[in-house]
Structure 1
Amino acid sequence: QRAATLFLVKNIFSLFLSVISLFTDWPYPLQPMHLTVISALTIGIPSFFLAMEPNYDRVTGHFLRGVLRRAFPGGLTNVFAVLVCQAFMVVFDLPAASIATVCAGILAVVGMMVLFQVCKPFGAFRRVVWGGMLVCLVVVFTCLGELFELRSGTVQTKLLMLTLLLMTPTVFFAMQRLFDWGEKIFRRVFRREKA
């Protein structure tokens, strides 16, 4: 379930954004290099280590519903934040390369929040996995920006990135609350129909 949740966040985000890009004239906001490094550090590497962890718990309830329930808030938060970013690019005529860096930063933050949720309850091993990925992302954005085509951008794009990064956790937790609420309603309706 943990590994499936991490992979589905990216798939949900990519699906929605691809459909939006298809029907609008907005370009796909991320470079392949950005997707590669962020996917590796927030999905591929942590899911590999989490899958190696011994787990003797039996899967209970609906597997697919549980995975989707945990993945959708992160995927939709990514879509929302990236669309806001794209709107700012159009309105203020910001450079596409800098906007791609802002979008990459958003994906990294959301990816770490999803990984944080997936790692609960934290033990020593999961702390090392989460902390290690966080350190790697900080190094990528601060020291290896040129290698991964992460542009520092103008003052406007830096302010936009800061604003969106501060806003993203609020949107993520609001999405989680929304899905919690929806799940409660679904269970009540399902119980009534069953009765």
Structure 2
Amino acid sequence: MPMLFLIAGLMLADPQAAPLATAGGEGAPPPVTSPSLAAAAPELAALPGVVLVGYPVDGRSPRAIRDSINDRRPRLPQGEAFDARTDWRYQTQWKGGAGGCDPATAEVDMTVIVTLPELTTRDALDRREREQWDRYYKALIGHEHNHVRIALAAAEQMRTYMRAAPDCASMQAVQRQIGASIQPANDAYDESTRHGRSEGATYP
């Protein structure tokens, strides 16, 4: 039976300027894009603030690969597991001014981490099985790419509206409002695509 599990999740939205946390804990080096994932998804890897990280999966048949994915895919604190996920975090900052801030100087830095499976045994598959995997993987990347677009578009909208705010209170209200809209927008996208199924992201 075809199986697909995806999620887009919010890591953290900072309401004010603060150091950007890194995967692995305070002071750990920031994650870097996997070279193999950069080659598999060059357009996604080239987007500003986007990092692609992988988890290794293997198998010499579609069923074995699915079992490997099920065993190793990202797991949420509540126990749910998904083939791929997109997490985001933004940091806002601005210069001081009248009332303690100058909205026209507002900046929004968005970091997006996309976690995908990396198949280590692709070359061991026969041509038909490789094509089957490649179709799924292309669709999976495309689905996550759209989650990234939603997050980056929200960051750009947040920057624009924060800079146009008449005062600090209005600026921070805009930041909170747009920040709170990112998860629902991603949820709506997942619902409309049945978590990528309608886009071909099913395997095997």
Q: TM-score range by the shorter chain?
A: 0.3 to 0.5
| Greater radius of gyration (CA) | 2
- Structure (1 or 2) with the greater strand fraction: 2
Name the TM-score, length of structure 2 as normaliser: 0.32
